[in-house]
Structure 1
Amino acid sequence: MLGLLLLNLLFLLFDGLYNTAFIQQSLSAWSPAFVSFYEPIHRNFILVDLVFITIFLTEFFVRWIVAIKTEEYLRWYFFPFLRWYDLVGCIPLGGTRIFRFLRIFSILYRLHKNKIIDLNDTGIYRFFAFYYDVFVEELSDRIVVKVLSDAQQDIAAGSPLIDDITQNVIAPRRPVISSWLSGIVNHFGQSINDSKHGDVIRRHVKASVGKAVRDNAQVSTLSYVPVVGRTIENTLESAVTDIVTASIVNLLSDLEAQDIEEFISSGLKDFTPEEQNLDKEFLLVVNECIEAIKGHVSHQRWKSQLIEKQQQKKAAKLQPVMDDSDVKGS
């Protein structure tokens, strides 16, 4: 079918050129016998074209029947709507015959889909795929850079983006966030209280409290008490360690979502000048990050790929020359 289609398209092209006076005069001067042979075909061109149309329509209905048998589509009548260009191309009019050209791509796609041919290994495919990637990359890079530049301008102009995120995105979800934080804190407190998982934290608390107790001037004087001084100091250190550990566990385990929400509300109520300066610094960091992203996006990767291919070709050309010189040297 692909061969018949190409033959039909060449026939249509030649007959269209034959209508011009220049082609007719050139053929008459070059080969009058050919003009005499082809003139009846040209006058009855529609009948010759009907032969191709009959073959194409037969192939179309056979494919339709096969699609119905294999249930390729959800409804049996979907096939002609999805292959509309096949039907339109079979109309014997000058304007609709161009749709037969689309059948070439349809047939090639089916051959590639059924693994009869592999279009990925063809030079034409690689050529168009490379320049398609170049076009998409250049277009997408410019769009992304434009969007990022607009975002930078909004930030520089004092865009209330962060305030909008805080009020419209985070604030409505604050109860969920508070509940989530409460669950994490409670789980952390239970982990500390666990005999296995909380041993590391307890050892750290014991070491910290022990150091604080030993460094305390009042407690250190207990060591001077005869006989029981050192025992009292160790007992006091152990008791304080247990009290601090139990306090931390109770604090984390009993902390509820409402407590966290009140803490967030009171903590974020007023902003000091230092916090405002921190916000400005944060915006500068965001701006620098966007600038770095723009630089990365603006990098034309297709040029790097093209240079790499050229270097590989040069290396492939130099390899036989080096091999010949090695043979001559030996």
Structure 2
Amino acid sequence: MSQPELNEFVPKGSRWASDLGKVGLAIDLTMVGLAIINLLWIIFDSAWSVSELRNIMAYILPVVWLDNYAVINERFFRIDLVFVSIFITEFLLRWMFALYNKVYGHWLAYPVLHWYDILGCIPVAEFRWLRVLRIYVVLVRFKEMGIVDFTKWAPYRWVKAVYNIVMEEISDRVVVNVLDGVQAELRGSAGVEKQVLDEVVRPRQAQLTELLRERIVVAVQTVHAQSRDDLRFFVTETVSNAVHENREIKIIDRIPIVGGAVGDLLDHAITDIVCRVIDQGVGRLNEREFAALFADIVDGVLTSLSTESETDHEMGAFIIDILDVVKRQVSRRRWIDG
């Protein structure tokens, strides 16, 4: 469905109760009352139809009432049709009201958005329980109007907590099953990893290369700024040891009078040159030349990954291990861990 078609379903006006004021509020309260009565009666009728529950009810209610209820139970469907006709009439009036006031941009939007009212009007046992949604929707409407805030009620918080637990368990199982299927596909299919490189990585190679280069440059420059003194000490000690172990420098050191001084000068000069090279090299990491060099390195790595025969197995195992980590994370029961 295109965006203009979706926009036709966006509400443009206010709700039934707010438009009709006290009349709309009275209609909402009446329909909630009828829905509650209807649901309680459905529960009672269902319990009465079970002999064991009817025997238990005999300890609470007079036996004469239970025996006389048999007549009502036989006419249950007809009486329920009275409630259904009221619900259908109210639904049609709401629909006509929405059309008249152009609440929605499409004439079919109201029944689509209020599908639960349609299903709740079906006089079949499996759909009757959907009438409880009517109560919930009206409570939401009351909350928006500032009449009552049902979200602070203990039953609502308990039901929401149970709902979140159930949805978390269902979604986690679905995600884990999907990841299992992906892993099985990776194990059984040849060339999937090469397709990932060619169809996913390659088209985004420039962006990935730039992102990786920026991260490396920032990390190197940060470490260099924080550990510059330690790095200079390390270079000085390393160069000094290498210079004094060099055969030619040892020969210079043996020259009478000036040999030792010349060796020390060479030691300091080489150390200073190496440190300057490192400092200038770190400072030039943001220049265009390094960006081009880094891009060539990444391109060479990707090319080797695409051509080497062992790459498929190694990369496939790598992706499978990553999915195992994701599965363990998804399988965590956060409602237990807190």
Give the shorter-chain TM-score range: 0.5 to 0.7
RMSD: 5.9
In structure 2, the CA distance between the partners of 1:250 and 1:120, relative to structure 1 (3 Å rule), is same
Alignment equivalent of 1:286, drawn from 280, 297, 318: 318
In structure 2, the CA distance between the partners of 1:177 and 1:243, relative to structure 1 (3 Å rule), is farther
Q: Does 1:161 align with 2:192?
A: yes
Query: Residue 131 of structure 2 corresponds to which residue in structure 1?
Result: 103
TM norm structure 1: 0.53
Between 1 and 2, higher relative CO (CA 8 Å, sep ≥ 6) is seen in: 2
In structure 2, the CA distance between the partners of 1:193 and 1:235, relative to structure 1 (3 Å rule), is farther
In structure 2, the CA distance between the partners of 1:2 and 1:160, relative to structure 1 (3 Å rule), is same
Identity of aligned residues (%): 18
Q: Does 1:259 align with 2:290?
A: no
Q: Deviations over 1:51-75 (max 9, x none)?
A: 895699679979999xx99xxx777
Query: Residue 211 of structure 1 corresponds to which residue in structure 2?
Result: 241
One-letter amino acid matched to 1:230: G
Check conservation: 1:210, 1:237, Cα contact below 8 A: yes
In structure 2, the CA distance between the partners of 1:220 and 1:174, relative to structure 1 (3 Å rule), is farther
Query: Residue 114 of structure 2 corresponds to which residue in structure 1?
Result: 83
Query: Residue 321 of structure 1 corresponds to which residue in structure 2?
Result: none
In structure 2, the CA distance between the partners of 1:198 and 1:295, relative to structure 1 (3 Å rule), is closer
SS in 1 for 2:150: coil
Deviation at 1:217, TM superposition (A): 2.3
Deviation at 1:236, TM superposition (A): 0.8
2-side partners of 1:54 and 1:281: how far apart?
66
One-letter amino acid matched to 1:104: V
Q: Does 1:228 align with 2:243?
A: no
2-side partners of 1:83 and 1:167: how far apart?
47
Q: Deviations over 1:1-26 (max 9, x none)?
A: 54532434538996xx99xxxxxxxx
Deviation at 1:237, TM superposition (A): 1.0
2-side partners of 1:108 and 1:280: how far apart?
54
Aligned length: 272
Deviation at 1:242, TM superposition (A): 2.1
2-side partners of 1:294 and 1:179: how far apart?
27
Check conservation: 2:253, 2:260, Cα contact below 8 A: yes
Deviation at 1:105, TM superposition (A): 2.5
2-side partners of 1:291 and 1:98: how far apart?
40
Check conservation: 1:223, 1:229, Cα contact below 8 A: yes
2-side partners of 1:197 and 1:12: how far apart?
75
1:50-89 mapped onto 2 (5 Å cutoff):
82-83=113-114, 85-86=116-117
Check conservation: 1:182, 1:260, Cα contact below 8 A: yes
Q: Deviations over 1:220-264 (max 9, x none)?
A: 333333443332222111111222233344555263333334455
SS in 2 for 1:256: helix
Deviation at 1:210, TM superposition (A): 1.7
Larger Rg: 1
Check conservation: 1:182, 1:256, Cα contact below 8 A: no
In structure 2, the CA distance between the partners of 1:217 and 1:267, relative to structure 1 (3 Å rule), is farther
Deviation at 1:185, TM superposition (A): 7.0
Query: Residue 150 of structure 2 corresponds to which residue in structure 1?
Result: 115
In structure 2, the CA distance between the partners of 1:204 and 1:188, relative to structure 1 (3 Å rule), is farther
In structure 2, the CA distance between the partners of 1:297 and 1:207, relative to structure 1 (3 Å rule), is closer
Unaligned runs of 5+ in 2: 1-30, 50-63, 144-148
SS in 2 for 1:225: coil
In structure 2, the CA distance between the partners of 1:60 and 1:12, relative to structure 1 (3 Å rule), is farther
TM norm structure 2: 0.52
Question: Which stretch of the first structure deviates more once superposed, 133-142 or 219-228?
Answer: 133-142
1-side partners of 2:223 and 2:44: how far apart?
85
